[in-house]
């Protein structure tokens, strides 16, 4: 098992259940099948990573969980209830920096979901926002507008905004892909630090094997387009301390093999 500490609710530990989900895009010219019969379950407090080559339908899958897209077949349910529309119980964090509202300050941005959904009162929203902004080390910038922030800082705001709301589940679509390598590493550590503190559930999409192992406690590997389940692996033992360990290297190699097949792996070894 991954996290023994949190499995008190043994009777229903499954938070998200994705069952045989096929997702398609209909364009005027084509019908594109993004994923085909994908199924997995995410448990409470799990860091669940979806990993796959570009174009395999990871973002599409996340959009469907977010409620922005209905499956052609199969069901997606959260807390046993089937998903029909976007909702604040599933907070999305995107890769793009435009997800922040440029007309609001950092503080107003973080407060916005709490106020717009009326989940928290005015004073409580303010207080939660302030403490989360401090937590992501942006206290000095809380009255700055997003255009005055660097990319990494904007990402921190987006993270703080989602976290302060305390959703049932955090949906993150390659949130750190647009950052430079140093900032990305910093943000990964930040995310893990926050997780240690709050033990939230996160569904995290990436196409970096290393990021998947570092961030994830469980990794779903998808096949190339159309996305189908290739494997589900456990990575809960591997974190930043184990980057240079043999186990880390072995898992990396194994995932590499799963993603690109034996042939390519042989080529990679040859070089």
Ligand X SMILES: Nc1ncnc2c1ncn2[C@@H]1O[C@H](COP(=O)(O)OP(=O)(O)OP(=O)(O)O)[C@@H](O)[C@H]1O
Counting contacts by CB under 6 A, is residue 59 touching ligand X?
Answer: yes
Q: What residue 216 binds from ligand X, Mg ion, another protein, none (CB within 5 to 8 A, per partner kind)? A: none
Q: Which of residues 53-72 bind another protein (CB under 8 A)?
A: 66, 68
* Interface with ligand X, residue 54, by CB under 6 A: yes
Task: Choose one: 53-61, 129-137, 164-172, 212-220; the region binding Mg ion (CB under 5 A).
Answer: 53-61
Query: How far apart are alpha carbons 24 and 29 in whole angstroms?
Result: 13
Binds ligand X (CB under 6 A): choice among 37, 225, 254, 256 = 225
- Does 257 bind ligand X (CB under 6 A)? Our answer is no
SS (H, E, C) the chain: CCCHHHCCCCCCCEEEEEEEEEEEEECCCCEEEEEEEEEEEEECCCEEEEECCCCCCHHHHHHHHHCCCCCCEEEEEECCEECCCCCCCEEEECCCHHHCCCCCCHHHHHHHHHHHCCCCCHHHHHHHHHHHHHHCCCHHHCCCCHHHCCHHHHHHHHHHHHHHCCCCEEEEECCCCCCCHHHHHHHHHHHHHHHHHHCCCEEEEECCHHHHHHHCCEEEEECCCCECEEEEEECCCCCHHHCCCHHHHHHHHHHHHHHHHHHHHHHHHHC
Sign of the alpha-carbon dihedral angle for 93, 98, 99, 103: positive
Choose the stretch contacting ligand X; rule: CB under 6 A; options: 51-59, 100-108, 147-155, 259-267: 51-59
- Rule CB under 6 A: which of 30-49 touch ligand X? 32, 34
Q: Which residue's Cβ has the minimum distance to ligand X?
A: 59
Q: Nearest approach, Cβ of 113 to another protein (angstroms)?
A: 5
Residue 33 as a binder of Mg ion (CB under 5 A): the answer is no
Q: Which is nearer to ligand X, 8 or 29 (CB)?
A: 29
How many residues of this chain interact with another protein, rule: CB under 8 A?
A: 23
Nearer to ligand X, 69 or 136 (CB): 69
Q: Which of residues 95-134 bind another protein (CB under 8 A)?
A: 96, 98-99, 101-103, 112-113, 116-117
- Contact between 201 and ligand X by CB under 6 A: the answer reads no
25: partner contacted, choices ligand X, another protein, Mg ion, none (Cβ within 5-8 A by kind)? ligand X
Sign of the torsion formed by the C-alpha atoms of 112, 115, 118 and 120: positive
Residue 168 lies near another protein (rule: CB under 8 A): no
Strand partners, 90: 169
Residue whose CB is less far from ligand X, 56 or 91: 56
Q: How far is CA 89 from CA 10, 120, 125, 192, 217, in A?
A: 22, 13, 16, 21, 21
Q: Among Mg ion, ligand X, another protein, none, what binds residue 99 when CB lies within 5 to 8 Å by partner kind? A: another protein
**Does 59 sit near Mg ion (CB under 5 A)?**
yes
Residue 57 sits in the site that holds ligand X (CB under 6 A): yes
CB proximity list for 29: less than 8 A, separation 6 or greater:
none
Binding site for ligand X (CB under 6 A): 25, 27, 32, 34, 52, 54-60, 207, 225
Residues that bind another protein (CB under 8 A): 66, 68, 86-88, 90-92, 94, 96, 98-99, 101-103, 112-113, 116-117, 145-148
């Amino acid at each position: 098992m991954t996290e023994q500490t949190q499995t008190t609710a043994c009777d229903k530990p499954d938070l998200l259940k994705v069952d045989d989900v096929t997702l398609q895009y209909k364009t005027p010219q084509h019908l594109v099948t993004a994923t085909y019969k994908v199924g997995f379950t995410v448990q409470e407090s799990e860091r669940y990573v979806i990993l796959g080559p570009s174009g395999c339908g990871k973002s599409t899958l996340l959009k469907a969980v977010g409620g922005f897209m209905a499956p052609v077949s199969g069901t997606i349910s959260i807390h046993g209830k089937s998903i029909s529309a976007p909702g604040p119980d599933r907070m999305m964090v995107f890769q793009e920096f435009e997800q922040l509202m440029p007309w609001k300050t950092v503080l107003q941005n973080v407060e916005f979901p709490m106020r717009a959904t009326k989940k928290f009162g005015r004073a409580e929203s303010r207080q939660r926002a302030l403490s989360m902004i401090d937590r992501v080390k942006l206290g000095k910038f809380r009255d700055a507008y997003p255009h005055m922030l660097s990319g990494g800082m904007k990402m921190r705001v987006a993270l703080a905004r989602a976290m302060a709301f305390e959703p049932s589940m955090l949906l993150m679509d390659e949130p750190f892909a647009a950052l430079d390598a140093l900032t990305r590493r910093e943000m990964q550590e930040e995310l893990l630090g926050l997780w240690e503190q709050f033990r939230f559930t996160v569904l995290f999409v990436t196409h970096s094997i290393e990021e998947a192992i570092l961030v994830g406690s469980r990794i779903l590997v998808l096949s190339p387009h159309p996305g189908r389940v290739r494997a589900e692996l456990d990575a809960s033992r591997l974190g930043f301390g184990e980057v240079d360990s043999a186990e880390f290297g072995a898992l990396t190699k194994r995932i590499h093999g799963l993603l690109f097949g034996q042939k390519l792996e042989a080529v990679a070894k040859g070089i």
